[in-house]
Amino acid sequence: MRLGRIASPDGVAFVSVEGTPDDPATTVREIAEHPFGTPTFTGRSWPLADVRLLAPILASKVVCIGKNYAAHIEEMGGGHFPDPVIFLKPNTSIIGPNIPIQLPANANPVHFEGELAVVIGRPCKDVPAARAAENILGYTIANDVSARDQQQQDGQWTRAKGHDTFCPVGPWIVTDVDPSDLELRTEVNGETRQLTRTSMMLHDVGAIVEWISAVMTLLPGDLILTGTPEGVSPIDDGDTVSITVENIGTLTNPVVRKGRR
């Protein structure tokens, strides 16, 4: 199932996306209340072309994994760590598909980071890796946008990764995908910048959920960004970033400097 969140003439709603995304006949069926557990439907539906896709989930927190692809560690000049490195992005950084990433005037360079994202499906704490899937609603795509100069200046990552619009997510959540070996591709203005498979992650999804849930309770809708591969580079006003994850879809966002539209 593909679960999304839309703005329609009747308001904002969670939906199930029915059909092939590129097919003009694709529709979205409105879900009553929320998508967790077994969704129930209101009976209302719209053509996908007649609604606007929003970020597919409202997360209480965004937990990110750093240094999870060896080649990215090498390109950034960082050391290897035996355990996952975690940090947080505020939920106010989340935007949906086609919404502009706004570059702060005082940040340069700003990099894209294409990532597979995990969506938590129920409250959980101290989850063994072998039981991680029981607590996952599904998977989506995220862009961990990062201001590198602020990251270096501050010595930690909160400001550099926490700006509004610095966490594009979408276009929907896929509930029935195996995350262990998916192709991940990031393009800027149609040029491939990142290309890898999730099998190259140093810590897989089960290990990540176990590590994070040992520290903090995870709530329904919480997002876990699983790390970015090599190939990160600057984005600037007028660029378009598209991240494609196999069997999930493509997340596309334009880039603007603050004050421009």
Whether 20 and 83 share a structural domain: no
pLDDT beyond 90 at 258: no
Average pLDDT over residues 127-134: 98
Whether 47 and 66 share a structural domain: no
Give residues with Cβ within 8 angstroms of 96, minimum separation 6. Answer: 5, 53, 54, 55, 56, 168, 169, 170, 171
Show which of 18, 36, 54 is a domain's final residue: 54
Whether 215 and 92 share a structural domain: yes
Whether 100 and 127 share a structural domain: yes
Whether 110 and 230 share a structural domain: yes
Alpha-carbon gap, residue 170 to 129, rounded angstroms: 25
Whether 98 and 169 share a structural domain: yes
Query: In this predicted structure, what is the pLDDT of residue 261?
Result: 45
Whether 158 and 174 share a structural domain: yes
Longest dimension (CA), the chain: 53
Give residues with Cβ within 8 angstroms of 112, minimum separation 6. Answer: 143, 145, 186, 188, 193, 232, 233, 235, 241, 243
58-82 tens-digit pLDDT: 999 999 999 899 878 777 777 777 8
Whether 224 and 101 share a structural domain: yes
Whether 191 and 170 share a structural domain: yes
What's the whole-number average pLDDT of the chain? 94
Residues spanned by the domain of 34: 2-54
Whether 78 and 43 share a structural domain: no
190-204 tens-digit pLDDT: 999 999 999 999 999
Residue 171, preceding peptide bond in cis (omega within 30° of 0): yes
CATH code of the domain containing 18: 2.30.30.370
Looking at the 3D structure of the chain, how many domains does it have? 2
User: In percent, how much of the chain has pLDDT > 70?
Assistant: 98
Whether 14 and 84 share a structural domain: no
